[in-house]
Structures are given as C-alpha cells and as structure tokens.
C-alpha cells in the first residue's frame, strides 16, 4: 500500500488529480478501515474545489476545523440530509468496530435516519481482498473448472478408446 500511496502522491504532484482520485477510491474499496485514505481523498477534492465530494469522504472524520464542517454540511445539503442516500454513496464495507467513536456514532446516526425515513438500512458485506488467496479462501473460477473438466474428458476418452481397441483386437483374434 505504501508504494501505491507514493504513486498517488507523484500523480498529484504531476497534476494527474483525476487519476490519483481513482486510485484512492480503489484503495478505499480494498482497505475501507484506513481512514487516512478517506482523509487523503477528501483533501484532494477540497484542494480541487469539489467541496461536496470532500464532505462525502470527511463525513466519518471528526470535524476538527471549519473547512471540514463546511464541506460535510455542503455534502449533506446536496443529498437533502438523507441518511439513506449518504449510506448508498459512501458504501462502507469495513469493520465498524475498528472506526473511531465519532465515526461509529455517525454511521449509527445515518442508519437510524435511513430506517426512519426510508424504512431500510443498506447493508454492505465486507469486501474480501481477491489478491490474498489462501487455501481456505480460494474459490475456483469458471476457467479453472473448465480446464479440469477438459483434462478429465481427454483422459476418459483415451481410456475408452484403449478399451475399445482391446475389445476389437480380441474379436479379430477369436
């Protein structure tokens, strides 16, 4: 992750902010509990003038200064203060217990608002990192299964052809 962050910093320095923001969003999806990534993306949006987007990624951060409060207020106003809409947009897939107390309370507040106004609370299951394939978590893909079936089919065909060949030879002899 350190290498990815260095690449993102390099892209920001070179003016490739759109690419850097894409990379940061992807990193957030892979590591949702890393609030430093959320803050870095919010900071990037703030510096670029996208205050509502900055507020979206600062929503789980305790407002320590006026710019954070202002951006979060702008974002909440842009979604009509809808807890349901905010939960749909931030798509938090991490472990809530690993968040700060402020973030946990904010998520609980958003969920309560969503339940009250929409009578539904979006549930997002934690995203599993596909790159970490341990034997217990490994799931065969269709390609893997197809390769296995193909090999089994070839071996079975060879065995059947050998049996047919033996039967034919025995018939010729007798």
Q: Are residues 61 and 18 in the same domain?
A: yes
* Kind and range of the H or E run holding 107: helix 101-118
Indicate whether 29 and 59 sit together in one domain: yes
Q: Do both 99 and 171 map to the same domain? A: no
- State how far the alpha carbon of 168 is from the alpha carbons of 31, 156, 158, in Å: 64, 18, 15
Domain CATH number, residue 101: 1.25.40
Residue 157 lies in a domain: yes
pLDDT level of residue 41 (50, 70, 90 thresholds): very high
Query: Is residue 134 domain-resident?
Result: no
Give pLDDT, residue 136. 46
pLDDT tens figures, 106-149 = 988 988 988 888 887 777 766 555 555 444 455 678 877 888 88
Bigger pLDDT: 124 or 74?
A: 74
Q: Answer whether residue 131 is part of any domain.
A: no
> Is there a single domain that holds both residue 93 and residue 148?
no
| pLDDT at position 68 over 50 | yes
Q: Is residue 30 part of a domain?
A: yes
In a domain, 135, yes or no: no
User: Do 108 and 161 fall into the same domain?
Assistant: no
- Look at the chain and report how many structural domains it folds into: 2
pTM above 0.85, yes or no: no
Does any domain span residue 123? no
18 and 82 share a domain? yes
Q: CA end-to-end span of the chain, whole Å? A: 73
**Is 124 a member of any domain?**
no
Looking at the chain, the number of H-run helices and the number of E-run strands are: 8, 0
Say which residues have a Cβ less than 8 Å from residue 173's Cβ, sequence separation at least 6. none
Q: Tell me, yes or no, whether 24 lies in a domain.
A: yes
Residue 166's domain comprises: 140-174
pLDDT reading at 38 higher than 70: yes
- 56 in the same domain as 113: yes
pLDDT tens profile 151-169: 999 999 999 999 999 999 9
């Amino acid at each position: 992750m350190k290498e990815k962050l260095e690449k993102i910093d390099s892209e920001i320095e070179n003016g490739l902010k759109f690419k850097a923001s894409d990379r940061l969003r992807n990193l957030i999806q892979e590591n949702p509990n890393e609030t430093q990534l959320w803050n870095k993306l919010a900071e990037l949006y703030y510096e670029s003038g996208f205050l509502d987007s900055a507020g979206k990624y600062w929503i789980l951060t305790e407002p320590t200064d006026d710019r954070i409060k202002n951006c979060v207020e702008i974002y909440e106003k842009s979604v009509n203060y809808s807890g349901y809409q905010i939960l749909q947009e931030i798509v938090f897939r991490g472990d809530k217990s690993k968040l700060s107390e402020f973030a946990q309370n904010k998520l609980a507040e958003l969920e309560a608002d969503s339940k009250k106004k929409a009578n539904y609370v979006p549930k997002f299951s934690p995203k599993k990192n596909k790159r970490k394939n341990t034997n217990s978590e490994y799931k065969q893909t269709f390609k893997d299964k197809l390769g296995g079936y193909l090999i089994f089919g070839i071996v079975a065909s060879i065995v059947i052809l050998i049996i047919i060949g033996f039967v034919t030879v025995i018939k010729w002899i007798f």
